[in-house]
A and B are shown apart, each in its own frame.
Chain A
Amino acid sequence: MDFTIILQAGIASGTVLLFATIGELFSERAGVLNLGVEGMMLIGAMSAFSTTIATGNPWLGVLVAMFFAGLISQIHAFIVITLQADQVVSGLSLTFLGAGISLVLGEGLSKAGTVSLLPSFSIPLLTLIPIIGKIFFTNQSVLVYVGYLLVPLAWYYINHTRPGLHLRAVGEYPSAADALGINVFRMRYFYVFIGGMLAGLAGATISLAVSPGWFSELTTGGQGWIAIGLVIFAQWDPIRAAFGAYAFGALRRLILDIQGPLVLFGFNNPFYYNPYLGFFLQMLPYLFTVIVLVIGSREAMRKRIGAPAALGNPYIRGERGK
């Protein structure tokens, strides 16, 4: 087994998680929990693939994916921001809605054959760096490089720009922001939309780059949930989110690849001979997600790890104080 190849593939696979995680991070930083990431990713993957088949243009596929996933996120935004309903319930429904829509509209897409994919290329010079060059900069999809750019941009935007300042205020203390003339409702709609677009991009990354094709709900395979766990794990920080996303991407690849060879480090590979061990390994990322979500849902723990203070609460104008 060549670990650099596994890691190289892991970075690509981690890019999917990265987009979804950063998207959810924006939404949560504005105070809106959106559990519909999985559904929005499915919409994105399906519409990207379908558009590319129809037009032959994968770039158009990416745009359409982002647009539709953003659009469907606005259902959640309307329910929780305007109607002030429970964010958990609405987010869960969005997952089912997104899955349902994409399964119906994606019917037959899996037999549609191959499409033109997004280009992959290497970055000159940077590939020459030992190990790192091979893992990060050799023969990666264009979206992987977009991911590299997104992380520092997101970090800078949140921490060092005026709109980022407003974003943080809206998620921490919406009434303070409102009192100073910031439109809390509009900001929340906007960042839920951003979250949707990035989830759509994550979906497109799967179906047009990382594992091309449409395999109904197995296309995303629960990665939307891992992304939600990663946001908590990252303590709402884009840089940490990137580490988490790439680590999980690499882990996913490793788990798949480790079951291949007959011999591992000079021993009979137990994961090859006993498929149940493989299933166990495949379960681990989801187990991690469950644990992180359980921990992250405790009020005291959330305060401790720095969750946006208003996360999950509808903003009702005229309520003084908290």
Chain B
Amino acid sequence: MTNQTSSTHGPSSEAPLIVEMRGIVKKFPGVLANDHVNFELKRGEIHGLLGENGAGKSTLMNVLAGLYRQEAGTILVNGEPKVFSSPRDAINAGIGMVHQHFMLVPSQTVTENILLGLDDPRFFLRLPDYDTKIAELGERFGLKVDPRAKVWQLSVGEQQRVEILKMLYRGVNVLIMDEPTAVLAPQEIEGLFVTLRAMIAQGKSVIFISHKLQEVSVIADRVSVLRRGVATASGIASKGVSRQELARLMVGRDVIFSLDKKPSQPGEVVLDVRDIYAENDKGLPALRGISLNVRAGEIVGVAGVAGNGQSELSQVISGMRECKQGHVTLAGDTVSNRTTLFGIQHGMAYVPEDRTHVGSAPNLSITDNVIMKKYRTAPILKRGLLDMKAATSLANELKQAYDIIVPNVSTPVRLLSGGNLQRVILAREISGLPAFMVAVQPTRGLDVGAIEGVHRLLLAQREAGAAVLLVSEELEELLSLSDRVYVIYEGRIMGEVKVGGGEPDESLIDTIGQMMTGTPLEQIQKEGVAAHD
């Protein structure tokens, strides 16, 4: 992501502790999310908190931010024990958290969002006064954002800056950032790091939650690692520890950083998207002339910062959104603006972004969910009725084949973990032997083991000769799985790059990053040539 070394002006080892968490225990029904965890934060440091999804990082920090109440353990701020019963208490003690899901009111301006819940202004808003105040604060920490802009007009990166400003405006000294880079393009990540360093230079402290090793070793002064609710490392200096060691602390075993991927042998064009236009839910243009194609036996990635038309693109392809102009063909048949059934009957498989509401029917059983595309034909359909025996045995077969871990297939899918639910959806989609599959964020929120499983299934599809369109915000995932990657920005394709096997080189990542922030490929290449001359 970046070549910079970790900050050199880290806190001295005798810097005072600003936060101490001792023996924190937090339980959720059926899960011990934090098991006697100790955590220490020094004044003026960036402290990386590493762990897989579900390791308890966010839980621990939600306790510190006053969102959850711990079952046992104490929190000391500047040496004094504190009890937080709401985020407001934590903020009053100088601790604020920027969540992964931003808590911003889209229809209000930046300033209005920042002033929300404060006692000043008392009654009349007099926004212009506060606009300048907030602009000045932003200036101080390198957080450029127009205070008068409405939040819905802002990019995700800008919204994140508003969230940080919200906390700084409230005078917090400890800022907790929950997976802040997940939604950012590489260049924006650089900007965030600059801001975080500016903050510690001014005496603030930062807790940086992440599951990405590389980032943590770049930005953090010290690192703590959680695994399954237990701290496996507490405040070790990030300079003295290798990536492999950190990975072992996170996962508990050695992680292989590459996938077994055979060279691609692309066949005929299966999916052909020609110059399509579509609107988003608000009736604003979301796709403005997208063309792309996917061949049999290849995985094609769509990279981009969230909200640049990826969702709409996948919906138009799967037939769930009206295509205003242009068309989508699947093996020669036009599928855009047809029913979804038409697409399904012509070999379309769809793994949607929203697993729980679009991808599955939460209250129905695994059996019901896996037969949703098959109930119209034998063996599930028998003399015009559903053959539940056949359905159950199919579900059991899929449960075995796809490693779905549940006691039995009559379990409603809402009770499944994210990884298991995704396997149910993939089982349904793949078992229909699709010619083409569009998968949107198929690994979001899954733990490392589950991600590996999903990746293997996608690669197996590719080897079986299916065409796969993979929409993801995880660049690493796209680069390790795809044969080609399109980059989408504000509803347009900025360019297409080929991805070779092995470790992707820095210049490719840089090119993709530039495209993700709106520079078309031709322009990058032109500038590149100019630079060489």
Comparing B102-110, B289-297, B387-395, B485-493, the segment that makes contact with chain A is: B102-110
Task: Flag if B107 contacts A168 (CB, 8 Å).
Answer: yes
Task: Flag if B104 contacts A173 (CB, 8 Å).
Answer: yes
Task: Flag if A166 contacts B106 (CB, 8 Å).
Answer: no
Task: Flag if A168 contacts B108 (CB, 8 Å).
Answer: yes
Total contacts A-B at CB 8 Å: 72
Task: Flag if A300 contacts B88 (CB, 8 Å).
Answer: no
Closest Cβ of chain A to B509, distance in Å, is: 29
Closest Cβ of chain B to A159, distance in Å, is: 8
B contact residues, total (Cβ < 8 Å)? 27
Comparing A139-147, A211-219, A251-259, A303-311, the segment that makes contact with chain B is: A303-311
- Give the CA-CA distance A176 to B283 in the complex, in Å: 25
Closest Cβ of chain A to B97, distance in Å, is: 9
Task: Flag if A182 contacts B103 (CB, 8 Å).
Answer: no
- Collect the chain B residues with CB atoms within 8 Å of residue A168's CB: 105, 107-108
> A301's closest neighbor in chain B, by CB?
B283
Closest Cβ of chain B to A320, distance in Å, is: 6
Closest Cβ of chain A to B190, distance in Å, is: 27
B101 adjacent to chain A (CB < 8 Å): yes
Task: Flag if B103 contacts A176 (CB, 8 Å).
Answer: yes
Task: Flag if B105 contacts A176 (CB, 8 Å).
Answer: yes
Q: Which of B86, B104, B113, B116 has the most CB of A within 10 A?
A: B116
Contact A166/B282 with A172-B108, A176-B105 known, Cβ cut-off 8 Å:
no
- Give the CA-CA distance A303 to B105 in the complex, in Å: 14
Closest Cβ of chain A to B160, distance in Å, is: 14
Size range of the chain A interface in the assembly: 20 to 34
> B101's closest neighbor in chain A, by CB?
A321
Contact with B along A15-28 (1 / 0, CB 8 A): 00000000000000
- Collect the chain A residues with CB atoms within 8 Å of residue B121's CB: 162
Q: Is chain B's interface secondary structure helix, strand, loop, or mixed overall?
A: loop
- Give the CA-CA distance A179 to B106 in the complex, in Å: 15
- Give the CA-CA distance A164 to B127 in the complex, in Å: 13
Closest Cβ of chain A to B320, distance in Å, is: 13
Contact A161/B123 with A177-B117, A304-B283 known, Cβ cut-off 8 Å:
yes
Task: Flag if A180 contacts B88 (CB, 8 Å).
Answer: yes
Task: Flag if A162 contacts B123 (CB, 8 Å).
Answer: yes
B281 adjacent to chain A (CB < 8 Å): yes
Contact with B along A171-187 (1 / 0, CB 8 A): 01101110111100000
Closest Cβ of chain A to B344, distance in Å, is: 24
- Give the CA-CA distance A172 to B107 in the complex, in Å: 8
- Collect the chain A residues with CB atoms within 8 Å of residue B99's CB: 320
Task: Flag if B282 contacts A303 (CB, 8 Å).
Answer: yes
Task: Flag if A181 contacts B122 (CB, 8 Å).
Answer: no
- Give the CA-CA distance A177 to B116 in the complex, in Å: 7
- Give the CA-CA distance A180 to B112 in the complex, in Å: 13
- Give the CA-CA distance A304 to B122 in the complex, in Å: 33
B156 adjacent to chain A (CB < 8 Å): no
- Collect the chain A residues with CB atoms within 8 Å of residue B115's CB: 162, 165
Task: Flag if B283 contacts A161 (CB, 8 Å).
Answer: no
Closest Cβ of chain B to A184, distance in Å, is: 11
Chain B positions near chain A (C-beta within 8 angstroms): 67, 86-88, 99, 101, 103-108, 112-113, 115-118, 121-125, 127, 281-283
In the assembled complex, 5 residue pairs joining A and B whose CB atoms fall closer than 8 Å, in A order, are A164-B125, A165-B108, A169-B105, A172-B106, A180-B117
Chain A positions near chain B (C-beta within 8 angstroms): 160-166, 168-169, 172-173, 175-177, 179-182, 300, 303-304, 306, 309, 320-321
